[in-house]
Structure 1
Amino acid sequence: MPKPKVVTTISIIILLLLLGCKPSEKGVITIAAAANMQFAIGEISKIFTKQTGIQCELVISSSGKLTAQIKEGAPYDVFVSANMKYPEEIHANDLAVRPPKIYGYGQLVLWSMYDNIQPSIEMLKDQNIKHIALANPKTAPYGQAAIEVLENNGMYNQVKGKLVYGESIAQTNQFITSKSSEIGFTAKSVVLSPKMKGNGHWIALDERMYSLIEQGVVMIKRENRNFKNAQQFYDFLFSKEAKEILEDFGYLVTK
């Protein structure tokens, strides 16, 4: 069974618009997913396709950017966000089939690929740490959570000159894995993914130091589409199998 195809946001929009393709009519659904979910949603969609035969096109970006694209008419069927704020915004703009629902709770970690660095909040002030990677807090919920951690530990002003912002968690991970940043904040789902597991050193951050990351999902209103396919994926995201996958990737499915 073919693996779910991950393509860039711009390329899929151009492809669908130029070819006039209606994915749902051909047994394909388009899922817009927050970057922290890249690995987990890939596994979930693979199992979903195996069981249903419905193919999944994945568009990975920050939740804020995906929200802007949906409001501009991007041809997505399901939006899997990194928080509830953006799905609620979609619903408030009458673009969702129904109100958003929480499918899991994200966890923030501090990660470094340098052998001589054992991550800790205090060490962020170390003079040897020149760059601290995090996702853009304006569009990425995990970036906002990272800022909250720094503020709640009273060190934001001390390290703000070191902060390097990625467009999303995906770009933030590139900063960390390429070692262009000595350390960075990312999602626990990233360091537990098969691709990244065992690489570098990381610590889970105290959940009391940042707001609960409630990750929500909505079905997007679209004309001329097979509603049933999108509904099947939406329901599958709350199935026992999907919840087990989410837990394997470090998400909490109950609070």
Structure 2
Amino acid sequence: MISKLNNGQFAFKCERASYTAGLFLLLVALTFGACQEPSRSVQTVAVASNAQHVMKDIVERYNRTYDTHIHIVNGASGQLTAQIEQGAPFFMLVSADCVYPDSLVAHGMHALEPVILAQTPLVLWAADSLIMTQFQSGHPAPDVRLAIPNPRFAPFGRAAKHYLQSQGLWHQLEPNLLMGGNVGQTNHFITTQSVDLAFTAGVSLKQTGMTQYGVFHYPDNTLTLPLCALVLKTNPEEGIRLVDFIQRSCRDLLQEHGYTLN
């Protein structure tokens, strides 16, 4: 499914005809090895918090298949992007939207254009049906406690803020707003029953079992965010192979975790 890298990453050239035959053969051997077998050292994928569970399963399957040593680091997409911009040695970013991958592309840090792997909607959770009904009517209780991922770094937090603003509720609810650093922290507020309402990623319903703790609602069918992968220049061979593996061999895992495929 993936045919080429940006800027000719795999173009190996021998520009000096005066090289000795032995050196030429050595270069050919090294080039062939680099193209055929990505590095077997420990490599890291930066993963948005909402995708940490599915990516854990995907990476385990990938490591078994190719005898590699890939592991993941998870966090808010914006924070992971900032780390990449500052030189963090991730070879791929899996973001909760395509905004952050596009920003890395603008800085020329990509080896491949962003690839949308799947998508999941914004979901609203409430501790009980009365709280949900009050919110849907546009009249939430004055002291209702609402949690969202931090809009500065988390795409689902940004989507939640935009929705609340569109409903004229942002300023009313902001004083009692509790911001999670990412989707995972917001889900923790839900499962510990620390809040009355929360916006989070739709896949969280299946991943965390949070439906045991209350009720949920999809506030707007248009608020669906893509799970977007960007292969970076750190190790493009490994990144391309992993993205291709996800698309060919991990569709079942994405669906099991609640994602919708394109």
Same fold? TM cut 0.5: yes
- Contact 2:131–2:196 (Cα < 8 Å) also in 1: no
Distance 1:198 1:147, change over 3 A: closer
Deviation at 1:44, TM superposition (A): 1.5
Deviation at 1:37, TM superposition (A): 0.6
Question: Which letter maps to 2:253?
Answer: I
Task: Indicate the RMSD between aligned Cα atoms, in angstroms.
Answer: 2.3
Once the two structures are superposed, residues 118-154 of structure 1 have per-residue CA deviations (whole angstroms, 9 ceiling, x without a partner) of: 6454278433853111001111110011112212333
Q: In the aligned structure 2, how far is the partner of 1:197 from the partner of 1:51?
A: 32
- Contact 1:105–1:215 (Cα < 8 Å) also in 2: yes
State the structure with more CA Rg: 2
Q: In the aligned structure 1, how far is the partner of 2:43 from the partner of 2:76?
A: 19
Deviation at 1:206, TM superposition (A): 3.7
Partner of 2:197: 183
Choose the corresponding residue for 1:246, options 232, 244, 254. 254
Q: In the aligned structure 1, how far is the partner of 2:91 from the partner of 2:215?
A: 35
Partner of 1:65: 79
Deviates more, 1:83-92 or 1:44-53: 44-53
TM-score by length of 2: 0.77
Deviation at 1:115, TM superposition (A): 5.9
Deviation at 1:28, TM superposition (A): 3.0
- Contact 2:120–2:259 (Cα < 8 Å) also in 1: yes
1:229 aligns with 2:241: no
Deviation at 1:61, TM superposition (A): 0.6
Choose the corresponding residue for 2:228, options 182, 204, 216. 216
TM-score by length of 1: 0.79
- Contact 1:107–1:213 (Cα < 8 Å) also in 2: yes
Distance 1:124 1:30, change over 3 A: farther
| Count of aligned positions | 224
Distance 1:217 1:232, change over 3 A: same
Q: How does 1:124-203 map to 2 (within 5 A)?
A: 125-127=139-141, 130-193=144-207, 195-196=208-209, 198-203=211-216
Deviation at 1:75, TM superposition (A): 0.7
Deviation at 1:89, TM superposition (A): 0.7
Deviation at 1:78, TM superposition (A): 0.8
Q: How does 1:48-59 map to 2 (within 5 A)?
A: 48-59=62-73
